[in-house]
A and B are shown apart, each in its own frame.
Chain A
């Protein structure tokens, strides 16, 4: 009997050793989407509540585990020597440990949670002006900025710019399946539900790029439906707005309409040829480049493609290699995406096309 007890005490020791080991792994937790290190007041409110509740419950768990392990190791009986007996008592464990303490603890947690909800930072008032409308597509996020004074309305894909130090109201819609808008370091999730308009208000305290991704399963490429919020100082943000509202570079003298004389606006002959190729190929069927005849609405607006950090719904960095690969073989890179593979370009044509896309600052 003694031997067995010792053996089990030993094994239980090993389990106990495992627990701090697991906690140590949390060093891995930093990362671009680690929301317990927030970057805005909304996420800050959530993280504070989260730390409070989690630390409280970690303490409770360790306490009860300790008790359980002690009970399991303290003394052992055997079927032969221990007849069943009614020792009585123990009800107090249930009344205090099972009812009173949990009721108090859960009440505290509930009150804390309700408190956070009812005084939620940035809660959208009735007067809050919607600045950006984000819609979920298959599989990318489209952000539309309204016209303002002289500035024309425009839309961008995947990268949403906001100014720092003030709250921005974003409407969330979808015309296909349910998606969820999530920038972990700035705010929790809000779903994009067809037939509804949900609203989120968020604020970034520091300039920076905050990454996020769709958080509600939305089909084949859910994993590659990413987005980021680029927070900029207000003057940079205004400059960005102005720049994005402009038509595409070089389009003031659109090369496609008159190849003999046109194209003066383009930086080089290669770019001019790329622009012509773009207009002749299938591209304008889905993509818009403002200032040119390309007016497709199904796919991202490419007017200022070169100003974005990523392509393909945030999946690939925006560089020459990825652009070339994406133009010809999107189905290998992101199977199921709406963009078809294309074999229509020669190598020379492809580099002209990519040069054109890269000129769209």
Chain B
């Protein structure tokens, strides 16, 4: 299985310290496997499923749920496109159109784009690090449940006909009580606050996992690049999301409790919302984009059959994108009447951040350049991503040229840009990742023919749908209009866009059907179908509940491509089958630090998330006592959750 490579950097045994930590065991490995299985396994019962904290199950749930939201958001988009396919159409009522475009944006940006990456992160981060679970497995379960319930809560508004109507960035005063009197904005604000709880918990968990649970020897300069992007993203989440929470809280207070944060006539400012929202909003763009580039930096070298060129540059570019990402938010507000100096600073920052992206693009191109690439579906999606991202990045720089942005902002040019970036740089890498990692998750290969059909349908549909939007923007079509007149001359292009959108949806459908079919009927994958370099391919496909029998050790950036045997453990010191153990290591060098005991399954995270969902509902109805009791319930379950656990012994 191991493929010898002509290069070796450090032929070392990386972790002499491990053996000192735990006493060597002379168990027979078969019994150890059974013990580990019974320790880590989720009982196959409803209760077991509800209480499970297995990151692999949670990761898959994240993926399935996020794809559901993708499908819902996609159907909304298709309805919008039907209404716009010709001039003066009457397919949707104006309020329905406004609700649908708001729901489409909010669903895709908040409940699809970030959660899908959290799903891959959840599944892959521990496996890539050689750990047995996330650092805080119960918090991980809580993150998922809170994500699910916040989405259900938000779509509860859909069921009762109370939806936001003013777009995903919800500018005040249009979303204030005077102009949006129904409860749509309460669903929006409470739903998002609920979601930020989930996302923040998830991010903290990723950070802790990446900094504490790396396999011995996986020093910070040997981490897969996916870890750099997940780490950067998590820091962004922790720092940026409080702004969203604050904005939503202010909005709720303004709407329901008579404060005047955004009320110009009482000394507030509608621009405050824009600043606070975009201070969160622009980093969020990188949150939904960076992990995808990390996945590409992981997948592309495997199919190029060589390590990525410029690992350090890519890692640094990733981190710097996160840092500078905090300094570009005003480029969403160039038309709001701002002085030239501030605009120039934000324009310069926006162009600077593009350089970090070009570094990544050229690292991928350079990797391709010296290689004999293997072109399969996964790689096609990666190439499609690079092509879309080049265009989407550059048309973004066009909008960063301040004065020209006065023409472009709020037109279809911007709609085109953001879809080239979000579909191009999130959905295409996600598809590549599905084709690449589903064999690991399901144990079966995805159908290649269907995959290629899907890619070409999606890629052609994508460009037919979104390229003409540039031209519509230049022709002066503003975004968010439910109707336009024949005289504007936008009919042909809009019809093209609609046809492209349906083609794109069809391509996506082919892949989704392929996933469903192939995960049951596909050819067996084996542990490492791509002969890849990262640790997740060390496990079986699908991985055992405890991942690896021995916690692996790492001696290079490409553990499965070097000569070092990750599972070499003559004393069985790294089996750790006494309890739910995993190894912890130091943050930079990944020297063994100790053994962490992971918690048992518990329904407490589920109940806590349910209580928070109840709290949101009670706040929505402004019911004081139910709110307080839900808060109390959440507190009590959290206490049960955190109650110290007795030492656990596997059944002998």
Residues of A within 8 A of B (CB): 4, 8, 11, 15, 18, 22, 25-26, 28-36, 43, 45-47, 49-50, 53-54, 57, 60-61, 64-65, 67-68, 71-72, 75-79, 82-87, 89-91, 93-94, 97-99, 102-103, 106-107, 109-110, 112-114, 116-118, 120, 176-178, 180, 182, 184, 187-191, 193-196, 198-199, 212-224, 335-336
Contacts and interface: CB of A to CB of B under 8 A. Distances in A.
Contacts of A11: 456
B358 A32 contact: no
A184 to B, nearest CB: 4
A223 B410 contact: no
A189 B344 contact: no
Interface in B446-488: 456, 459-460, 463-464, 467-468, 471, 474-484, 487-488
B348 interface: yes
27 contacts: A11-B456, A25-B471, A25-B493, A25-B496, A32-B487, A33-B477, A46-B404, A53-B404, A72-B373, A82-B372, A83-B4, A83-B305, A84-B302, A84-B558, A86-B306, A107-B351, A114-B344, A117-B343, A178-B171, A191-B335, A193-B264, A194-B173, A196-B337, A214-B478, A219-B165, A222-B481, A223-B483
A110 B406 CA distance: 15
A314 B161 CA distance: 31
A15 B459 contact: yes
Main SS at interface, chain B? helix
B310 interface: yes
Most buried by A among B386, B406, B496: B406
A194 B264 contact: yes
Interface in B76-114: 93-95, 98
B1 interface: no
B307 A22 contact: no
Contact of A102 (B358, B374, B460): B358
A31 B363 contact: no
B84 to A, nearest CB: 10
B355 A103 contact: yes
Given A22-B467, A26-B471, A191-B337, A68 B373 contact: no
A202 B66 CA distance: 48
A18 B463 contact: yes
Contact of A93 (B264, B302, B306, B369): B369
A84 B533 contact: yes
B365 A97 contact: yes
Contacts of A61: 390-391, 394
B545 interface: no
Contacts of A29: 471, 474-475
Contacts of A87: 306, 370-371
Given A25-B471, A217-B174, A117 B367 contact: no
Most buried by B among A50, A191, A222: A191
Contacts of B484: 223
Contacts of A109: 351, 397, 401
Contacts of A190: 335, 337, 406
Contact of B404 (A34, A49, A184, A221): A49
Contacts of A335: 93-95
B306 A220 contact: no
B397 A82 contact: no
Nearest to B355: A102
B636 interface: no
Contacts of B166: 217, 219
B358 A98 contact: yes
A35 B473 CA distance: 9
B321 to A, nearest CB: 13
Given A64-B390, A103-B355, A180-B410, A22 B468 contact: yes
B3 A220 contact: no
Contacts of B374: 76-79, 82
A94 B306 CA distance: 16
Contacts of B456: 11
Nearest to B395: A57
B372 A189 contact: no
Interface residues of B, number: 111
B371 to A, nearest CB: 7
A356 to B, nearest CB: 28
Contacts of A32: 476, 487-489
A224 B88 CA distance: 11
A187 B406 contact: yes
A318 to B, nearest CB: 15
Contacts of B531: 79, 83-84
Contacts of B471: 25-26, 28-29
Nearest to A30: B489
Given A90-B309, A194-B270, A188 B375 contact: no
A178 B270 contact: yes
Nearest to B528: A79
B340 interface: yes
A43 to B, nearest CB: 8
B607 interface: no
A43 B398 CA distance: 16
A224 B264 CA distance: 26
B407 interface: yes
Interface in B291-329: 302, 305-307, 309-310, 313
B359 to A, nearest CB: 4
A46 B406 contact: yes
Given A83-B5, A98-B361, A194-B265, 16 more contacts: A15-B459, A25-B468, A26-B474, A30-B489, A32-B476, A34-B475, A57-B397, A65-B390, A68-B390, A77-B374, A83-B4, A91-B366, A98-B313, A178-B171, A199-B337, A215-B409
Contacts of B408: 50
A248 B482 CA distance: 36
A93 B130 CA distance: 33
A177 B372 contact: no
Contacts of A116: 403-404
A102 B343 contact: no
Contacts of B172: 178
The 8 closest A-B pairs by CB, nearest first: A188-B406, A33-B476, A195-B264, A77-B372, A98-B362, A223-B481, A93-B366, A90-B366
Contact of B483 (A33, A107, A180, A224): A224
Contacts of B307: 84, 86
Nearest to B97: A223
Contact of A84 (B95, B397, B561): B561
Nearest to A177: B174
Given A57-B395, A85-B6, A102-B355, A180 B335 contact: yes
A311 to B, nearest CB: 14
B555 to A, nearest CB: 15
Interface in B394-420: 394-395, 397-398, 401-411
Contacts of B533: 84
Contacts of A199: 337
Contacts of A94: 309-310, 313, 359, 362-363, 366
B475 A31 contact: yes
B383 interface: yes
